[in-house]
C-alpha cells in the first residue's frame, strides 16, 4: 500500500459548475438553489452523487430510497453536499430477454451521468445482481472516488417449518412438482416464503456474491456484504459510508488506488471460499477491463486452485445470508484466507486502511456456518476453468455446486439447438436421454440469446428425475443463476452463435470432461471438427431495437467479460465544455 492523500483544500471538479462568479456558475447555482440550498453550501465542499438503483420494478432494491436518506445524513455530517441521482436499474427478475443484456447499457449510461454532472465522488447504492457490476464498471471507467453500499439480503424465509432461500428453493420445489413430491398448491404457498422481506436473494447467489466481491476488492466498508436489508446496522453502514466518501474525495482516494490486480486476486480467492456465483467471473473480468487491469480466465483458475469453500450457504451448503451475518460475515472469511497465506494483506480499502487491518481481529461466532479449513465444505472450491477442443477459450464450472461423481465423466451428447428447442423436448418421454448423457445447449451466449441468459442449469428430464437422479452433466454457452447448482459447465467460449465448436456438436457425439485435468473434449477427430466448422452457417440476426443491434455488434465473448468492445478502458471524468 503506497497511497499518499492529496492536499486539501483544493479545487474539485464540481467547482467548474458552482465555483466563482460568471454567467454559467450563477445559472447552475441558481437552478440548484430552487431546492432550497443556502449559498454557503457552494463553498467548494465535495458534492457526492448517491447513484441510486432504486426502482419499483427492481424489488430487490426497493428499499434503497430509505437507505439513501442515511447516506445523505453521513455526507452532511462529514461536510459534504449530497445529491441523489436515479440511475439505470437492471432488475434480474423483470428485465427481458435477460438483465445481463442491459448490464453494459447501464454501465455506459451511468458512466456518462457521472461525467456530465457536477459530482466529485459517488456512493454506489446497489443490490440486485446486475446493479453492482454495472455501477462498478462505470466507477472504474471514470475513476472518481467511489464507495459501494449494497442494500443487503432478505431475512430467511420459512416454508413448512424449514428455512428457504430465494432462487435455490424455487428450483428445488419446481423439480419436486415434476416428480410429484410437491403439489402445485404447495408450490404456490411457497411463493411468498422464499422472498420474505426487502432485500436481495438471501442465498450465496449472484447479489450476495457481488456484494462480497465489492468488500473483498476493498471498494466497500468492511462488513458491508452480509448485513440484512432490514437490520438497523444496514442503515448505520449507509451512514458511515456517507461520512467516508467525503474524506475519500478530500484525499482523492480513487478506484484505481483500490481495485488493483492484488485486489482482484483477493476477490477471486474469496469467491472460492464463499462458494460464490459463476457470474462473478464475467463481472470481475469486465470491471478489470474498465480499469485497465490485465485479468483473465487463467487468473481465475490459478488463484482459485486449492481454495476451500468454507462458507456453508445455499446453494452449495445449508444456511442463508442471515446466519452468515450472525457468524461474522465476510471479514471472518477474509481473516481465514489471510491466516492461510491466501490474501494480499496490504491491499488498500476505501477505509484508508489495509484489508488485513480491517479483519485481523474479528471473531467467528459459528464455525458450522463459516467452517475452519480442516472441516471445509469442499477442498477445491475455486472456479475451475476447463479448456479443450470444445472450449478453446475456456468454460467454467463451480466445483462446490457440482457432484463429485460427475467431475470426470464421458457421455453421449443430447443436443438442444437453443432454449426453445430445449423447452419443446425436455418433458417428452420419448426423448432419448438417461442420466449418463451430457445435455448440450447452444446459442445462449452473449450474442446468441441475446444477452447470455441464466439457462445453463437446464432442468433434468422428468423421466430421469423420477428415478431419483438429481444431477447430470450439462454444457452450454449460457450463464447460470448464482442460486442454482449442479455439474453445469457454462460460458463455453467461443459461443455457438459466432461459430465456436459448441455449434457443431451433434446428438450422439461423445464428450469427455475431467475437472481435475481442466479438460473438455469432443471426441471427434480434428479433420471432422474442421469440416463441421467450415460447413457451419451463421444464423440470421434481426435485432428488435437499436440497443440490441449495438449489443450484438459490439459485445465481446464471455471469456473476457462480455463488455462492449468500445467501452473497455478507463476514460476518466474530464469536465466537458459548458454552453451557458
Binding-site ranges for ligand FES (CB under 6 A): 60, 92-93, 128-129, 166, 200-201, 205, 207
User: Cα–Cα distance between 143 and 166 in angstroms, integer?
Assistant: 34
Q: Coil, strand or helix: which one is 65?
A: helix
With beta carbons less than 8 A apart as the criterion, state whether 486 and 406 touch: no
Instruction: Provide the minimum distance between the beta carbon of 271 and ligand FES in the complex, in angstroms, as a whole number.
Output: 17
Instruction: Provide the minimum distance between the beta carbon of 191 and ligand FES in the complex, in angstroms, as a whole number.
Output: 14
With beta carbons less than 8 A apart as the criterion, state whether 295 and 261 touch: yes
Q: Using CA atoms in the order 453, 459, 460, 461, what is the torsion angle rounded to 10 degrees?
A: -100
Instruction: Provide the minimum distance between the beta carbon of 216 and ligand FES in the complex, in angstroms, as a whole number.
Output: 18
List the beta bridge partners of residue 159. Answer: 162
Backbone angles phi, psi at 85, to 5 degrees: -125, 115
User: Cα–Cα distance between 447 and 452 in angstroms, integer?
Assistant: 7
Instruction: Provide the minimum distance between the beta carbon of 63 and ligand FES in the complex, in angstroms, as a whole number.
Output: 12
List the beta bridge partners of residue 385. Answer: 396
Based on CB atoms, which residue is closest to ligand FES, 113 or 198? 198
Question: Which helix (H) or strand (E) segment is 297 a member of?
Answer: helix 297-304
DSSP state string for 517-572? TTEEEE-S-HHHHHHHHHH--PPP---SSHHHHHHHHHB--GGGT--BGGG-S---
With beta carbons less than 8 A apart as the criterion, state whether 562 and 446 touch: yes
Instruction: Provide the minimum distance between the beta carbon of 257 and ligand FES in the complex, in angstroms, as a whole number.
Output: 29
Instruction: Provide the minimum distance between the beta carbon of 304 and ligand FES in the complex, in angstroms, as a whole number.
Output: 23
Based on CB atoms, which residue is closest to ligand FES, 129 or 358? 129
DSSP state string for 456-487? -SPPPPHHHHTTT----EEEESS---TT--SS
Based on CB atoms, which residue is closest to ligand FES, 207 or 433? 207
User: Cα–Cα distance between 48 and 56 in angstroms, integer?
Assistant: 24
Instruction: Provide the minimum distance between the beta carbon of 350 and ligand FES in the complex, in angstroms, as a whole number.
Output: 23
Based on CB atoms, which residue is closest to ligand FES, 93 or 296? 93
User: Cα–Cα distance between 197 and 156 in angstroms, integer?
Assistant: 8
Instruction: Provide the minimum distance between the beta carbon of 61 and ligand FES in the complex, in angstroms, as a whole number.
Output: 8
Backbone angles phi, psi at 403, to 5 degrees: -95, 130
Based on CB atoms, which residue is closest to ligand FES, 93 or 470? 93
Based on CB atoms, which residue is closest to ligand FES, 142 or 150? 150
Based on CB atoms, which residue is closest to ligand FES, 443 or 483? 483
Based on CB atoms, which residue is closest to ligand FES, 210 or 555? 210
Contacts of 249 (CB under 8 A, 6+ apart): 12, 46, 48, 80, 120, 121, 145
Question: Burial, 369: exposed, middle or buried (Cβ in 10 Å; 0-12, 13-18, 19+)?
Answer: buried
Instruction: Provide the minimum distance between the beta carbon of 213 and ligand FES in the complex, in angstroms, as a whole number.
Output: 14
Residue with cell 475456456: 394
Based on CB atoms, which residue is closest to ligand FES, 209 or 309? 209
Amino acid at each position: 500500500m503506497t497511497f499518499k492523500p492529496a492536499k486539501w483544500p483544493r479545487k474539485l471538479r464540481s467547482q467548474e459548475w458552482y465555483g466563482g462568479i460568471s454567467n454559467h456558475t450563477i445559472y447552475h447555482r441558481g437552478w440548484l438553489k430552487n431546492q432550497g440550498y443556502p449559498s454557503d453550501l457552494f463553498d467548494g465542499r465535495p458534492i457526492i452523487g448517491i447513484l441510486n438503483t432504486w426502482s419499483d420494478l427492481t424489488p430487490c432494491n426497493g428499499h434503497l430510497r430509505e437507505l439513501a436518506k442515511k447516506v445523505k445524513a453521513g455526507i452532511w455530517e462529514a461536510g459534504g453536499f449530497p445529491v441523489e441521482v436515479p440511475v439505470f436499474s437492471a432488475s434480474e427478475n423483470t428485465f427481458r430477454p435477460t438483465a445481463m443484456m442491459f448490464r453494459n447499457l447501464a454501465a455506459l449510461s451511468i458512466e456518462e451521468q457521472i461525467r456530465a454532472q457536477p459530482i466529485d465522488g459517488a456512493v454506489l447504492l446497489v443490490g440486485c445482481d446486475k446493479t453492482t457490476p454495472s455501477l462498478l464498471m462505470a466507477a472504474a471507467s471514470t475513476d472518481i472516488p467511489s464507495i459501494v453500499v449494497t442494500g443487503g439480503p432478505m431475512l430467511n424465509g420459512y416454508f413448512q417449518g424449514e428455512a428457504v432461500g430465494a432462487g435455490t428453493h424455487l428450483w428445488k420445489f419446481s423439480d419436486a412438482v415434476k416428480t410429484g413430491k410437491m403439489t402445485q398448491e404447495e408450490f404456490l404457498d411457497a411463493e411468498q416464503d422464499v422472498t420474505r422481506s426487502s432485500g436481495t436473494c438471501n442465498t450465496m447467489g449472484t447479489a450476495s456474491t457481488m456484494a462480497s466481491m465489492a468488500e473483498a476488492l476493498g471498494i466497500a466498508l468492511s462488513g458491508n456484504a452480509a448485513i440484512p436489508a432490514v437490520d438497523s446496522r444496514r442503515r448505520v453502514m449507509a451512514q458511515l459510508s456517507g461520512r467516508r466518501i467525503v474524506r475519500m474525495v478530500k484525499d482523492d482516494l480513487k478506484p484505481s488506488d483500490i481495485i488493483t490486480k492484488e485486489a482482484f486476486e483477493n476477490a477471486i480467492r474469496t469467491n472460492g471460499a464463499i462458494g460464490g456465483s459463476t457470474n462473478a467471473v464475467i463481472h470481475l473480468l469486465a470491471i478489470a477491463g474498465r480499469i485497465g487491469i490485465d485479468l483473465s480466465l487463467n487468473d481465475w483458475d490459478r488463484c482459485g486452485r486449492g481454495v476451500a469453500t468454507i462458507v456453508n450457504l445455499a446453494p452449495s451448503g445449508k444456511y442463508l445470508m442471515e446466519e452468515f451475518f450472525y457468524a461474522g460475515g465476510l471479514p471472518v472469511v477474509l481473516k481465514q484466507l489471510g491466516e492461510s497465506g491466501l490474501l494480499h494483506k496490504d491491499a488498500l480499502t476505501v477505509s484508508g486502511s489495509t484489508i488485513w487491518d480491517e479483519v485481523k481481529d474479528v471473531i467467528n461466532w459459528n464455525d458450522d456456518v463459516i467452517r475452519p479449513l480442516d472441516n471445509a465444505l469442499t477442498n477445491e472450491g475455486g472456479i475451475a476453468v476447463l479448456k479443450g477442443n470444445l472450449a478453446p477459450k475456456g468454460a467454467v464450472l463451480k466445483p462446490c455446486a457440482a457432484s463429485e461423481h460427475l467431475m470426470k465423466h464421458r457421455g453421449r451428447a443430447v443436443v438442444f439447438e437453443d432454449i426453445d428447442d430445449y423447452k419443446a423436448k425436455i418433458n417428452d418421454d420419448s426423448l432419448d436421454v438417461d442420466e449418463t448423457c451430457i445435455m448440450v445447449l447452444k446459442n445462449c451466449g452473449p450474442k446468441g440469446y441475446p444477452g447470455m441468459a441464466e439457462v445453463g442449469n437446464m432442468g433434468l428430464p422428468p423421466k430421469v428425475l423420477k428415478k431419483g437422479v438429481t444431477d447430470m452433466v450439462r454444457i452450454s454457452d449460457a450463464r447460470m443463476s448464482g442460486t442454482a447448482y449442479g455439474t453445469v459447465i457454462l460460458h463455453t467460449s467461443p459461443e455457438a452463435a459466432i461459430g465456436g465448436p459448441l455449434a457443431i456438436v451433434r446428438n450422439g457425439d461423445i464428450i469427455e470432461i475431467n475437472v481435475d485435468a481442466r479438460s473438455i473434449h469432443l471426441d471427434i477427430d480434428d479433420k471432422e471438427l474442421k469440416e463441421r466448422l467450415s460447413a457451419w452457417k451463421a444464423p440470421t440476426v434481426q435485432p428488435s431495437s437499436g440497443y440490441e443491434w449495438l449489443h450484438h455488434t459490439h459485445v465481446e465473448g464471455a471469456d473476457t467479460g462480455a463488455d462492449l468492445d468500445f467501452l473497455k478502458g478507463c476514460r476518466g471524468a474530464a469536465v466537458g465544455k459548458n454552453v451557458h
